[in-house]
Amino acid sequence: MGETEGKKDEADYKRLQTFPLVRHSDMPEEMRVETMELCVTACEKFSNNNESAAKMIKETMDKKFGSSWHVVIGEGFGFEITHEVKNLLYLYFGGSLAVCVWKCS
Amino acid sequence: VLPASLKMPHKQQPRTQSIAMGRGARKKDEDSGTDVGEGTDEWAQSKATVRPPDQLDLTDAELKEEFTRILTANNPHAPQNIVRYSFKEGTYKLIGFVDQLAVHFSQVGNLIPKDSDEGRRQHYRDELAAVSYQGSQESAKVVISETEILEEEEEPKEAEAGSQTDVPTAEASEKMVEEELITPKQPKERKLTNKFNFSERASQTFNNPLRDRECQMEPPPRTNFSATANQWEIYDAYVEELEKQEKTKEKEKTKTLVAKKMGKMAMRKTTSMESQSDDITKVTQAAKIVERMVNQNTYDDVAQDFKYYEDAADEYRDQEGTLLPLWKFQNDKAKRLAVTALCWNPKYNDLFAVGHGSYDFLKQSRGMLLLYSMKNPSFPEYIFSSESGVMCLDIHVDHPYLVVVGHYDGNVAIYNLKKPHSQPSFRSSAKSGKHTDPVWQVRWQKDDMDHNLNFFSVSSDGRIVSWTLVKSELVHTEVIKLKVEGSSSGSLEGSQIHTVGCGTAFDFHKELDYVFLVGTEEGKIYKCSKSYSSQFLDTYDAHNMAVDAVSWNPYHTKVFISCSSDWTVKIWDHTVKTPMFIYDLTSAVGDVAWAPYSSTVFAAVTTNGKTHVFDLSTNKYEAICSQAVVAKKKNKITHVQFNPIHPIIIVGDDRGHVTCLKLSPNLRKMPKEKKGQEVQKGPAVEIAKLDKLLNLVREVKTKT
């Protein structure tokens, strides 16, 4: 019991550590920073609705960097995508969310 | 004229009459006919008037009477007195003004004015007929717009629940209004051109021919990417990240104050660089191996020699040996610095440390500490640089990663090879009791009672200081102050002023740990004990010039060797005040070292670039090998060291080069085995060997 509680505390602790952890990215530095911040903002704003968060991210990315972007937010998924080079960001956020943003028109 | 007038006279006669009548008075009579002007002259003479039969007979007076006739506009048929009954007055009244108009002819015409309603309607109808041919679109648009407007109007009208009759009438009226509104827009009134004075001119410029151009850009490159997002992946990633952060935090904590300022900047760089240079650090291990392989390939023959070559010619040389040059170690950064210290690593037999500095009093520059491995002769394994020249160094026996270094400016420092920073881990400073003169020798001692690291240093300022590493700080204890005995300089009241001697070399006894020898600049050697701080156990007047090196024999506890710039090497028995053996090498001796495998072999290096190897058991008086080992004779050799295991020596010169030489078999002769006896009784045999020699010498001496 103590162990599971400990693990729970750890998990909560991790969730509290809501810093975005970039798993894979081949974007230029500025673009990456902007996109990261946007993702954090969106996920925090729509913390209980992945779809709205994804929508916000996608629309903002389309405006900023051109069409057409694709965004996937979730807690458990596997994927294989084709993306334009230097336009992919895959990051973890909030201890349990994974966000994948890529451009492919 | 005459014949015409001949015919005419018949008809002309009445005419002349009438003409004559007409001249008299103008009368509206039957047509008098055309006057013929011909022949009037003739016929005017004849005044014979001819009267028609039904003409009135009138008197001449009546004929001459003039009747006036007046033409008026009055209608002769109009009544002249119209009387009308006026009801107002009740009588008949005469109307003065009578309408004199007489209509002769009337016809109803079919012209209508343009601007009247009927005119406009007709005009519109004509236009419609013309427009309907042009296109149905405009009319359709008109219809659509009409219907739209109608629809809009219909809705409120439906709400009103208007009668259906109203709607179509409204529609009709709407249509009409729309039509009328639209009509002025549609027809473009053509300008009436003056057909008589107007001529049209038109011209058309050349339009350039059109050409299609197509271009297809390359689409932006695409790649595939795949990953899985699970809770456990995310968890693992975060745990890794936390660990990394903790590591960086630890690194920051362990940095010293000196390095903190630099460290902050560097840490930022390194943290940002780490992510990039992580790949490089993973490759360092592989790179190192590859580098060594390349070196091995390059120096393959040398490595083979090192391992296997035994100079076969030694058999023919009568007990003389040679030194085979193997590798040469040098580094660009240390090029102009002399080799001031050499030391083999006790644990790793291929690793040795080289200290670089300068012996020149005037030309003092920075110093370097390089550690080379024999496996990689082209580049040192470790490089440390310091501001002051390195004068001596020692590697700890138990902790082969700790190197203690003495500097020209009197400081001592400890370098930790495990932490490859360029800064020493511990350093003495002015306030922590550094020497005031160059430190000539440092030696590690055994750990003290509290397991603290401990080393000794000797310097020209006459102090021998013991340093202890207490909790990452160097604490110094002065062990002995070298005094020049018997140097009273005629002072008052017999007080002796002791001048301080300058220590240049020292060595600790192999077994009696507290006994050590110190060589001084004056040429004296003192035997001291750690426990006595003011008095020496013994003094030897060794040399005429500064003692460069002293060294106890590794096997024999009583024998030590010393060398000096006065060109001599002397071997002593510490119980005897005079040397056992004296060797005069023809130039100043820089360093002397016992061989680790034999008690009777030692090597000495001189400033003329020669290395001398002596074996007392074979030849007491001469070197069995004297060889120039440096390229240029100008190079002075400064130090020599035997490798504890391999039969090689390293020799350093004042140009910063270290040469590695292999001892030929003659030089490392082991005593011939007696049949049945083991040779492995190393130390005892050696001692016995030396004893014999000493006894011989002593006998000679006692005899003399």
What pLDDT does B8 receive? 47
Helix/strand number for chain B, H first, E second: 10, 31
What 3-state class would DSSP assign to A80?
Answer: strand
The residue type of A34 is E
Q: Rounded to whole angstroms, how far apart are CA atoms B283 and B346?
A: 29
Please state, in angstroms and as integers, the Cα–Cα distance from residue A89 to each residue in A26, A61, A83, B29, B241, following that order: 7, 12, 10, 129, 18
User: ipTM score here?
Assistant: 0.80
pLDDT at B305 over 90: no
What pLDDT does A88 receive? 93
Instruction: State which of B317-321, B365-369, B422-426 shows the largest mean pLDDT.
Output: B365-369
**Which comes out higher in pLDDT, residue B487 or B94?**
B94
The secondary structure element, H or E, covering residue B540 is strand B538-541
Mean pLDDT of chain B: 74
Give me the DSSP letters along B358-419: ---SS----EEEEEEETTBTTS-SEEEEESS-EEEEEE-SS-TTEEEEEETTS-EEEEETTS
Residues constituting chain A: 105
pLDDT at B343 over 90: no
Residue B209: how many CB atoms within 10 A of its CB? 5
Using a CB-CB distance cutoff of 8 angstroms, which residues of chain A are in contact with residue B242?
17
Helix/strand number for chain A, H first, E second: 3, 5
Q: Rounded to whole angstroms, how far apart are CA atoms B703 and B630?
A: 42
* % pLDDT > 70, chain A: 83
Would you call A78 and B224 a contact, using CB atoms and an 8 Å cutoff? no
What pLDDT does A18 receive? 65
- Disruptive mutation site among A79, A91, A99, A101 for chain B (greatest number of B CBs within 10 Å): A79
Closest-CA distance, A94 to chain B, in angstroms, reads 9
- Which residues 6+ apart lie within 8 Å of B667 measured at CB? B321, B322, B323, B601, B613, B615, B624, B625, B647
pLDDT tens column, B196-239: 777 778 888 888 889 999 988 888 888 899 888 888 888 888 88
Which of B689, B693, B694, B692 is closest to B679 using CA atoms? B689
Strand partners, A71: A101
Q: Is A17 on the interface with B (CB under 8 A)?
A: yes
pLDDT at B183 over 90: no
Specify the range with the lowest mean pLDDT, choosing from A5-19, B15-29, B590-604: B15-29
Would you call B224 and A81 a contact, using CB atoms and an 8 Å cutoff? yes
Using a CB-CB distance cutoff of 8 angstroms, which residues of chain B are in contact with residue A11?
235
What 3-state class would DSSP assign to B257?
Answer: helix
Using a CB-CB distance cutoff of 8 angstroms, which residues of chain A are in contact with residue B233?
98
Which of B616, B602, B614 is closest to B689 using CA atoms? B616
The model's confidence at residue A52, banded by pLDDT at 50, 70 and 90, is: very high
Find, in chain B, the residue whose alpha carbon is nearest to that of A80.
B226
Q: What is the mean pLDDT of residues B611-618?
A: 82
Q: Quick check: B629 and B610 in contact, CB under 8 A?
A: yes
* % pLDDT > 70, chain B: 72
- Disruptive mutation site among B217, B225, B245 for chain A (greatest number of A CBs within 10 Å): B225
Find, in chain B, the residue whose alpha carbon is nearest to that of A7.
B235
Q: Is A24 on the interface with B (CB under 8 A)?
A: yes
Would you call B238 and A75 a contact, using CB atoms and an 8 Å cutoff? no
Find, in chain A, the residue whose alpha carbon is nearest to that of B236.
A95
The model's confidence at residue B284, banded by pLDDT at 50, 70 and 90, is: confident
Closest-CA distance, B213 to chain A, in angstroms, reads 25
Q: What is the mean pLDDT of residues B240-269?
A: 70
